[in-house]
Structure 1
Amino acid sequence: MGTLHDPASQSLAAASVLAPSPGRPPEEVVADAAPSATPDKDVLSDVLRVIKLTGALFFWVDASSPWSVEVPRADSFAHLILPRAQHVISYHIITQGSGSVSIDEGSPMEFAEGDILVIPHEDSYAMCSASGVRSGLSPEDSLDFFRAMAAGQLPFVVNEGGDGPLLTRYVCGFLGCDARPFNPLLGALPPLIRIRRAAGAPSDLLDRLIELTLAEVSVQRPGAECIRLRLSELMFVEVVRRYLEALPPEQTGWLAGLRDPAVGRAVALVHENPARGWTIEELARETGVSRSVLAARFTRLVGCPPMQYLTRWRVQLAARLLTDGLAKVSAVGRDVGYESEAAFSRSFKKLAGVSPAGWRDGRRG
């Protein structure tokens, strides 16, 4: 594991990324926060709205040594905690103690007080107090736990581990969202994110959100669960913002593209008016660079050409409209920029794998 360096910012120490290949040691990504582009459209908020980010489960864990928690793939328990979610994201905020986390039995990554861990791709993972410690619980035991927690049969504070001194406390959160037809945020996130917060740093937004959550736990007023879930959504958004700020200059991906002046502006224009008949020439003119420069830079950072991104985002918008509304397929197609129902249906089926009507029937079913 690489050596961590002191950052310039007090509120954020670094972001760590666990490489996806099995057995590969964790990589440390350490960088000062880079300035973000300031497009007219808040693209991150737009994406979070359309992919329907929803709090699913949120609780507190007090773990005494020796302790270990093994969590199966999220798609095995998603139907228990959020039945209508296409995808479940797991995250943990370490408020006290330390330990290690590994994805799919891969190389472990150490974590400490103040760290934030995010598992965005539904992978199985294990958290423990020390290497080699295992709980001995089966995947079915984990499913029983999630079933009971979702049913309100367990307390908000869960005790784990052995008879040793209290070693670690952490917030455990699960969020639902859409992954299909197109979720640019998920595609930009690695299998494991660790965001490090400097010890002794002044209280920040994340600290205040945690304090509000704990206050709701202590008073147990009506509606507390709803407030905790909304607060968990806010905490996740703040984590994504910190990850974005910590990306190194050479990083590629959708989030990195938002920071680039030209690419970020082009993405914002697409999100601001997705139904407009954009061409690469128009986007290049609006962003102040040549067509070739925009195409090359957009493809390198985002992973696809600008016009392909526009098509994918239109289909994602259409999927949301088809799921939530009653408009005819032809009307939905026009709303996202297609002049004919046939053209819309071809684009939608190519990306989503089913026709617009089939998507609507499947989601409502």
Structure 2
Amino acid sequence: MAGDALSDLLRTVRLTGATFFDIAAQDPWAVCSPAPSSILPKILPGADHLISYHVVTNGRCFARIVGEEAIAVEAGEVVVFTRSDPHIMSSNPDLRADPPTADVLDIASAGQMPFHINYVRDGSLSARLVCGYLACDAQPFNPLLEALPPVIKAGDSKGDAGWLGQFINLAVAEVAEKRAGSETVLTKLSELMFVDVLRRYVESLPPQHTGWLAGLRDPHLGKALALIHDRPAYNWTLEALAKQSGLSRTILVERFTRLVGIPPMHYLARWRMQIASELLSAGNSNIASIAAKIGYESEAAFSRAFKKVIGVPPSAWRLGIRAAGNVESAAGPNEVLWTETEIGPARGPDRPQP
């Protein structure tokens, strides 16, 4: 069930692959990735959040966020910058690099992908990388992004037999052969690769770790999260959620709040608003029908709840007007935002008890 919650979140926040780079390099070399603010308008207009990744397919190199310690990355490993902080990929951890020029980003966004960058001068290749960007929605509520560290490195102990090895082989083939549909194949491969990196990260978490991913790993909280994600419009109460999760009400609230960071009913309300924001942005449903889909019996109750969480009414969100900052611009993370009666009763097919 926990895996379902992760899949549902990734689907709802619209994870998608974007521009790809094929980099061939010769020592010494260094490439700097610019800040998301300069990348998004060029290659991902309208995207909320940028994730960058680099898969080393040959040789080795170093990866580091500007101003931080360098990480060695070997062939067969991938490094993911979950916030796309300005970072440097280089042959030596001490090398500096200038960010790509606007011209390079323009060419990359307009040309056929993958975009090739050649730093080889005399034919002596020392490293090769397949790099790219993923985009997803950060607002109004993406607990996954809050739970991830700035950098994740993953490797495949099984070599080519593991998923990352297969990803590398397929990515290299698509880059080299330039077959019809390669761009789409690379896009889907990068999304699958990211999900696999997330799985590995969850499995590596220490027992004392807290956060949304730690909640997924807990069998009882994973069930609670899956229930909320699977049936967001249901008239959940703490008693019903606790019973279905195999915990007492008191323990559910304590454990959920400690690991996930907010109480279960607050999580339910925010998750409903995430779904609502996606429906509003799609523009295919009126506000009354969206209210019904996420568990509110009236448009007025939904509009009040939406503004309470997001900071702007649903109509403003649909027009592209965002509240300053993130979800917590409307209320701090520890404020009591809702009582159970304020969450809103369910209607329609989700009315029966679970």
User: TM-score, normalising length from structure 2?
Assistant: 0.85
Residue 261 (1) aligns with residue 223 (2): no
Q: Aligned letter for 1:300?
A: R
Q: After superposition, what is the alpha-carbon deviation per residue over 1:113-170, rounded to whole angstroms, capped at 9, x for unaligned?
A: 22221111131111211132123x3x4x443222211111686432136669422222
Q: CA deviation at 1:339?
A: 2.0
Residue in 1 that maps onto 2:107: 148
1:357–1:298 CA distance, 2 compared to 1 (3 A): same
Q: CA deviation at 1:59?
A: 2.4
Residue in 1 that maps onto 2:59: 97
Find the aligned partners of 2:282 and 2:55 in 1 and give their Cα distance.
33
Residue in 2 that maps onto 1:303: 261
Find the aligned partners of 2:169 and 2:90 in 1 and give their Cα distance.
25
Residue in 1 that maps onto 2:307: 349
Q: Give the conservation status (yes or no) of the 8 Å contact 1:92–1:172.
A: yes
Q: Aligned letter for 1:114?
A: G
Q: After superposition, what is the alpha-carbon deviation per residue over 1:245-271, rounded to whole angstroms, capped at 9, x for unaligned?
A: 222222111111111011100000001
Find the aligned partners of 2:284 and 2:90 in 1 and give their Cα distance.
48
Q: Give the conservation status (yes or no) of the 8 Å contact 1:65–1:162.
A: no
Q: CA deviation at 1:354?
A: 1.8
Q: Aligned letter for 1:210?
A: I
Residue in 1 that maps onto 2:146: 187
Find the aligned partners of 2:214 and 2:102 in 1 and give their Cα distance.
36
Q: Aligned letter for 1:79?
A: P
**Higher normalized helix content (fraction of residues):** 2
- Counting only pairs closer than 5 Å after superposition, residues 161-180 of structure 1 correspond to structure 2 as 165-180=124-139
Residue in 1 that maps onto 2:167: 209
Residue in 2 that maps onto 1:236: 194
Q: Give the conservation status (yes or no) of the 8 Å contact 1:338–1:344.
A: yes
- Counting only pairs closer than 5 Å after superposition, residues 16-55 of structure 1 correspond to structure 2 as 38-39=1-2, 42-55=4-17
Say which of 206, 216, 235 aligns to 1:277: 235
1:154–1:66 CA distance, 2 compared to 1 (3 A): farther
Residue in 1 that maps onto 2:49: 87
Find the aligned partners of 1:89 and 1:82 in 2 and give their Cα distance.
11
Residue in 2 that maps onto 1:3: none
Find the aligned partners of 1:241 and 1:60 in 2 and give their Cα distance.
26
RMSD over aligned Cα atoms: 2.1
Q: Aligned letter for 1:88?
A: L
Residue in 2 that maps onto 1:23: none
Q: CA deviation at 1:84?
A: 2.2
Q: CA deviation at 1:210?
A: 2.8
Find the aligned partners of 1:189 and 1:67 in 2 and give their Cα distance.
29
Q: Aligned letter for 1:51?
A: V
Find the aligned partners of 1:208 and 1:98 in 2 and give their Cα distance.
18
Find the aligned partners of 2:114 and 2:47 in 1 and give their Cα distance.
24
Residue in 2 that maps onto 1:123: 85
1:208–1:235 CA distance, 2 compared to 1 (3 A): same
User: TM-score, normalising length from structure 1?
Assistant: 0.82
Aligned pairs, how many?
322
Residue in 2 that maps onto 1:340: 298
Q: Aligned letter for 2:315?
A: A
Find the aligned partners of 1:253 and 1:110 in 2 and give their Cα distance.
27
Q: CA deviation at 1:62?
A: 1.3
- Percent of matched pairs sharing the same residue: 48
Moved segments of 4+, more than 3 Å: 153-157, 161-165
Residue in 2 that maps onto 1:25: none
- Counting only pairs closer than 5 Å after superposition, residues 281-296 of structure 1 correspond to structure 2 as 281-296=239-254
Q: CA deviation at 1:55?
A: 1.1
1:347–1:226 CA distance, 2 compared to 1 (3 A): same
Query: Structure 2: which 5+ residue stretches go unaligned?
Result: 323-354
Find the aligned partners of 2:170 and 2:123 in 1 and give their Cα distance.
30
Of stretches 65-74 and 244-253 in structure 1, the one that deviates more from structure 2 is: 244-253
Q: Give the conservation status (yes or no) of the 8 Å contact 1:333–1:344.
A: yes
Q: Aligned letter for 1:324?
A: A
Query: Structure 1: which 5+ residue stretches go unaligned?
Result: 1-37
Say which of 73, 80, 86 aligns to 1:111: 73
Q: CA deviation at 1:189?
A: 0.6
Find the aligned partners of 2:160 and 2:16 in 1 and give their Cα distance.
29
Q: Of the two structures, which has the highest relative contact order with CA contacts closer than 8 Å and spacing of 6 or more?
A: 1
Find the aligned partners of 1:159 and 1:304 in 2 and give their Cα distance.
48
Of stretches 230-239 and 277-286 in structure 1, the one that deviates more from structure 2 is: 230-239
Q: Give the conservation status (yes or no) of the 8 Å contact 2:55–2:131.
A: yes
Residue 315 (1) aligns with residue 273 (2): yes
Residue in 2 that maps onto 1:133: 95
Of stretches 105-114 and 54-63 in structure 1, the one that deviates more from structure 2 is: 105-114
Q: CA deviation at 1:298?
A: 0.7
Residue in 1 that maps onto 2:181: 223
Q: Aligned letter for 2:86?
A: S
Q: Aligned letter for 2:309?
A: L
Q: Give the conservation status (yes or no) of the 8 Å contact 2:57–2:168.
A: no
